[in-house]
Amino acid sequence: MQHMSGLPPDPDSHHDWRVIARLLPYLWRFRGRVILALGLLVLAKTANVLVPVSLKYIVDALDRSVQDPAIQILLVPVGLVLAYGALRFSSVFFGELRDAVFARVAERALSAISLTVFRHLHQLDLAFHLDRRTGGISRDMERGTNGISFLLRSVVFSVAPILIEVVLVAIIMAVTADALFAVVVLAGVAAYVTFSVWMTNRRTTLIRTANQRDSDANHRAVDSLLNYETVKYFNNEDYEALRYQQDLQRREDAKVVNFYSLTTLNTGQGLIIAVSVTVVMWLAASRVASGAMTLGDLAMVNAFMVQVFVPLNILGFVYREIRRTLTDVEAMFGLLDIVPRIQDKPGAKIYRGGMDGLEFDRVNFAYHPDRQILRDLSFTVAPGQRVAIVGPSGAGKSTLARLLFRFYEVDSGSIRVGGVPIQDLQLDSWREAIGVVPQDTVLFNDSLGENIRYGKPGAEPTEVDEVVRLAHLEHFIASLPDGLKTRVGERGLKVSGGEKQRVAIARMLLKRPVIMVFDEATSSLDSASEHAILSALREVSRDHTTLVIAHRLSTIVDADNIIVLDHGSVVESGTHAVLMAQRGRYWQMWQLQQKRDGDLE
């Protein structure tokens, strides 16, 4: 077809075998059930192909008997009729038993693979999740798991049964009728399979393009709806609809081209089946006319044609779907092939916690080579000290928290805790020791209580009540009809910014970390709430090493040390009183904020 010309070559078929090979270990866990299912499959197909044979002998017996219909029925061997019914029932019975045995295998394997991919995604570094689109990843997982389910069932329920049946039919036809019939049947099957494979391979690129366009459109819709408020702020509903319409048009074009190629495939398959059946029936009819075959043989050959070519049409569909799903599964397994950039070093030590200080020693870092964030940054946080980081936007304040939590690794220099580089510590044990209250708090679409309890799943009610009190959430919770059982909505949209930050503070306190990091943790609070929470935070962080990233300078005037950053470097440090006396960068920031606050009043 014209639209297929100029397509890039299809990837090597070994990719498909590699995907299948990765599925086998999950099936091997249930090898007993798999072997039993295959045994039942052979029994079901054997019984099925013997049905036309029994029909042949019934027809021949009737044909050779006397002409009186009543006497014909009496003379037909009763055993053949019973065998015919028994074979039909056996084919269905063994097939259903096979399905029942294999059902647990398919679901268990699917659950194991889904859990493996889910865990792996959580092991990947932050850079991966910031670069990739969540809508696209979820679509890859959905299509991949659906594809695996289809693969497991199609191999056992469709492909293997049809192949076994074709082989058995060819053998029986060669023995009971004529070897030429077997040759025609096998040639027809071979032509059908060859054409289907060739044409489907040419369609693979079209399928992948259609999938990509589908993912693009889905991502556009998800991203727009997640940013509903921003769309409304700028009255950009029509703009979002236009962009979504463009993605839908590209998806539509790709799917229509894919449909045209499918029509060509179906037409070619139908032609091969029609030619094969016509040749076989012509051979059978001519032999019956010459007396070389009986009417029973003709009935058997006709039944075999139905048994072989009707399911073979299903095989064509299954093969197309297998190739499509292999592409989907390959995309999902491709996620497993991504190696996390942040991993434990060989021999990494478990961090035991304790009153340790932090040291940033000549740290350099850039998200992109053309955009340096931190430059030879050095400062220390003594054990139990409360150190504040301030500076203009883009100075690198929040980057410090990400590096400390090891969302990223430093380009050069070192971050040490208790004198030990954090790269030498096991990730889980190190992150377990850090509590972070981020600037932008995102809540799960669950109850308020579960969002707080996320800091320590399974926490006792008394523990939850304590952190609720410390975060000054008790009055807000008391005002809700359902209290802690109140649903917060997707991404916490039903809760205000200040309330979300208090929830974030509460669940961080529930974690009981050794080191606390507050990344502008009170930026969404009113003055009264901010004052109350700051007092509580000073109390709970008294015996902790604490790093406070602040925008409002009034929140950190009592810090043990204040680090002033500009363009990724330390330009000043000291207490509030010392920095104010120096009348430098900090003093300028303070004056500017005081003037702005005064203007707002």
CB 516 within 8 A of CB 538: no
pLDDT for position 600: 45
CA distance 205 to 209: 6
Which residue type, as a one-letter code, is found at position 198?
W
Residue 122 to residue 129: CA distance in whole angstroms: 9
What are the residue boundaries of the structural domains of the chain, listed by start?
Answer: 13-337, 358-600
Domain 358-600, what fold?
A: Rossmann fold (3.40.50)
pLDDT at 426: 92
Cα–Cα distance, 399 to 413 (Å, whole number): 15
Q: Out of 3.40.50.720, 1.20.1560.10, 3.40.50.1370, 3.40.50.620, which CATH number does the structure's domain 13-337 have?
A: 1.20.1560.10
- pTM of the model as a whole: 0.65
In DSSP notation, 132-165 reads S-HHHHHHHHHHHHHHHHHHHHHIIIIIHHHHHH
Given a contact cutoff of 8 angstroms between Cβ atoms, the answer to whether 544 and 513 are in contact is: yes
Instruction: Return the half-sphere exposure (C-beta side, CA atoms, 13 A cut-off) of residue 338.
Output: 24
- Would you state the pLDDT for residue 77? 60
Which residues of the chain are under the pLDDT cut of 50? 1-12, 65-68, 70-71, 600-601
The answer to whether the CB of 403 falls within 8 A of the CB of 365 is yes
Q: How high is the pLDDT of residue 316?
A: 62
